[in-house]
Amino acid sequence: MKSKNSILSFCSFFLISIACIGQHSLTFDPLKYVVQTQEFQGKTVKVRSFEKIIYVANPTDTTKQILNIYVPEEYFNGGTINGYTASNAPIFFPNKVGGYMPAQPATFINAQGGGGMGGPPSQAVVMALSKGFVVASAGARGKISPIGKAPAGIVDLKAAVRYLKFNDKIMAGDADKIISNGTSAGGAMSTLLGATGNHPDYEPYLKALGAANATDDIFAVSAYCPIINLENADMAYEWQFNQIHTFKGRGGEGTLNEAATKVSDELKKAFPQYVNGLNLKDNKGAKLVLDESGEGNFKKLVKTYIVASAQKALDSGVDLSKHNFLKIENRKVKSVDFDNYLVYMERMKTPPAFDALDNKSFENNLFGTKTIENQHFTAFSMQHSTATNASMADKQQIKMMNPMNYIGDNTAKTSTHWRVRHGAKDRDTGFAVPVILATTLQNKGFKIDFALPWDKPHSGDYDLEELFDWIKELK
Ligand code: DHB
């Protein structure tokens, strides 16, 4: 009997230990920090750094599913910064996702690029802290097999938001005021966070990870050049760049051959039907459309944003006189010759820009599974695939990576406030993609501050002062 009892108690100890080993605590530990300082804009920014906090109970990658949280030291002495206190400071939530790859959280010391494909170190974290924000940055899994395929990255960031909300009472900062920020694929993540708050589609994935028992809607979105709407972005790209047959980009440079030109023509031709089906309205209530040749008031709207961008540059003293594609009279930019503007921009990608016919793009890799490395995600590329045994991604997987599917879905709590920037010289995706996002948000009653900053290539975090001013004004 004695031995039976001891076996039982050994077994229960063993089982409890297994459960404990597998489960990470989701309660924030306010004592686990180091103090760090950094000189910034002539002042010393002193913070408590809580780094590498595992934010789910059952992580699959403890090098990525981690949060860095930084809190201005003043907040532990009852201080205020910029009108904020420990209890009401908004939480700035930048991610460093680029190329849909796995990402580390952003750091206060030794900051790296803001996301996207490279770029200079971002000052977003230190600047946010200097302005009194609490900063929380989560790492996330990315498209690497077997654990990182879509929707792993967005599920991780949502889980990190849940951690912040779950611990709101014991942490500095107001988790009802989370503002996400990201660039390119990281911008896509930011828009997804904003669009899909609390949507049940993600629930099984969050549950499997042991995400904290809290909501995941966020207050506001900042996104630079979000690479979104992937299943429609090939058409948008060719609608814009169809006439440009030379390309220059990450994959090298060259001239489109006859087959590629034909693909471009077909994708361009399919775009109007997509746009017309969206039922978008301009600010006077007129339906935004394109005719069969791709002309119409939707194109006019895109050009309006380019003209506004050039006007802002001109007003700030930029010399635009060399740009023959701009018509400028009395310091007013009157119009843009779009065809010649595109010659100046240059094409970067070959058609299809995202769902590559050889099934080898970043995005094909994103839409793989545990056992299939790459998959198509558009009917067009599936039909025209040149890859052997190529398969199509699951519908639901594609849906969950596109914020456009959730804006206006009543089961999602979409952020009220949005700020989207897409460089006027960014060729990683077509202008139509962010213009459709901005217009959809406007039409559905959300607040969106949208612009195409002049001459900016594919990049982010280049106007942080303006970004933080915008956040400061949000109510
Ligand atoms: C990124 C850029 C791309 O052109 C793309 O297709 C996907 C992601 C990026 O910079 O993150």
Ligand 1 atom nearest residue 361's Cα:
6
Best mutation site among 101, 112, 189, 227 for ligand 1 pocket (most ligand atoms within 8 Å of CB): 227
Report CA(153)–ligand 1 centroid distance (Å): 14
Report CA(187)–ligand 1 centroid distance (Å): 10
pLDDT digits (tens, 9 = 90+) for 3-34: 434 433 443 444 444 444 568 999 999 999 99
Cβ-proximal residues to 60 (8 Å cutoff; 6+ apart), any chain:
141, 147, 209
- In this predicted structure, the answer to whether residue 218 has a pLDDT above a threshold of 70 is yes
- In this predicted structure, the answer to whether residue 414 has a pLDDT above a threshold of 90 is yes
Kindly list the protein residues whose Cβ atom lies closer than 6 A to any atom of ligand 1.
98-100, 116-117, 184-185, 227, 362, 428
Best mutation site among 112, 143, 183, 184 for ligand 1 pocket (most ligand atoms within 8 Å of CB): 184
Report CA(217)–ligand 1 centroid distance (Å): 25
| Mean pLDDT in residue range 161-172 | 98
Q: How far apart are the first and last CA of the chain?
A: 68
**Confidence at residue 17, expressed as pLDDT on a 0 to 100 scale:** 41
Report CA(448)–ligand 1 centroid distance (Å): 23
Question: Which residue owns the Cα nearest ligand 1 atom 8?
Answer: 99
For the chain, the average pLDDT equals 94
Residue 102's beta-bridge partner residues?
A: none
Strands 174-183 and 220-224: parallel
In the chain, what percentage of residues exceed pLDDT 70? 94
Domain boundaries 230-404, CATH class? alpha beta
Please give the CATH number for the structural domain made up of 9-228+458-472. 3.40.50.1820
pLDDT digits (tens, 9 = 90+) for 315-326: 999 999 999 999
Quickly state the pLDDT bin for 116 (edges 50, 70, 90): low
Q: State the Cα–Cα distance between residues 434 and 457, nearest whole angstrom.
A: 14
Overall residue count recorded for the chain in this entry: 475
| Mean pLDDT in residue range 195-221 | 98
pLDDT digits (tens, 9 = 90+) for 228-263: 999 999 999 999 999 999 999 887 999 999 999 999
Q: Is 314 strand, coil or helix?
A: helix
Distance of CA 39 to the CA centre of its chain: 29
**Confidence at residue 22, expressed as pLDDT on a 0 to 100 scale:** 62
**Confidence at residue 112, expressed as pLDDT on a 0 to 100 scale:** 82
Write down the pTM of the prediction: 0.95
In the chain, what percentage of residues exceed pLDDT 90? 92
Same fold, 9-228+458-472 and 230-404: yes
- In this predicted structure, the answer to whether residue 69 has a pLDDT above a threshold of 50 is yes
**Confidence at residue 113, expressed as pLDDT on a 0 to 100 scale:** 76
Domain borders along the chain are 9-228+458-472, 230-404
Best mutation site among 97, 101, 117 for ligand 1 pocket (most ligand atoms within 8 Å of CB): 117
**Confidence at residue 13, expressed as pLDDT on a 0 to 100 scale:** 42
Best mutation site among 428, 429, 461 for ligand 1 pocket (most ligand atoms within 8 Å of CB): 428
Give which of 50, 260, 242 is closest to 160, Cα–Cα: 50
pLDDT digits (tens, 9 = 90+) for 296-351: 999 999 999 999 999 999 999 999 999 999 999 999 999 999 999 999 999 999 99
Q: State the Cα–Cα distance between residues 53 and 163, nearest whole angstrom.
A: 10
Quickly state the pLDDT bin for 445 (edges 50, 70, 90): very high
Does an H or E element contain 45, and which?
strand 43-54
Ligand 1 atom nearest residue 428's Cα:
4
- DSSP line for 181-234: EEETHHHHHHHHHHH-TT-GGGHHHHHHHTB-SS----SEEEEES----HHHHH
The HSE-up count of residue 295 (CA atoms within 13 Å, CB side) is: 3
| Mean pLDDT in residue range 137-141 | 98
Q: State the Cα–Cα distance between residues 449 and 460, nearest whole angstrom.
A: 15
**Confidence at residue 117, expressed as pLDDT on a 0 to 100 scale:** 65
| Mean pLDDT in residue range 376-398 | 98
Q: State the Cα–Cα distance between residues 354 and 378, nearest whole angstrom.
A: 9
Peptide bond between residue 151 and the one before it cis (omega within 30 degrees of 0)? yes
Give which of 241, 296, 252, 254 is closest to 273, Cα–Cα: 296
| Mean pLDDT in residue range 454-470 | 97
pLDDT digits (tens, 9 = 90+) for 259-296: 999 999 999 999 999 999 999 999 999 999 999 999 99
Cβ-proximal residues to 323 (8 Å cutoff; 6+ apart), any chain:
310, 344
Question: Which residue owns the Cα nearest ligand 1 atom 5?
Answer: 99
Q: State the Cα–Cα distance between residues 245 and 170, nearest whole angstrom.
A: 57
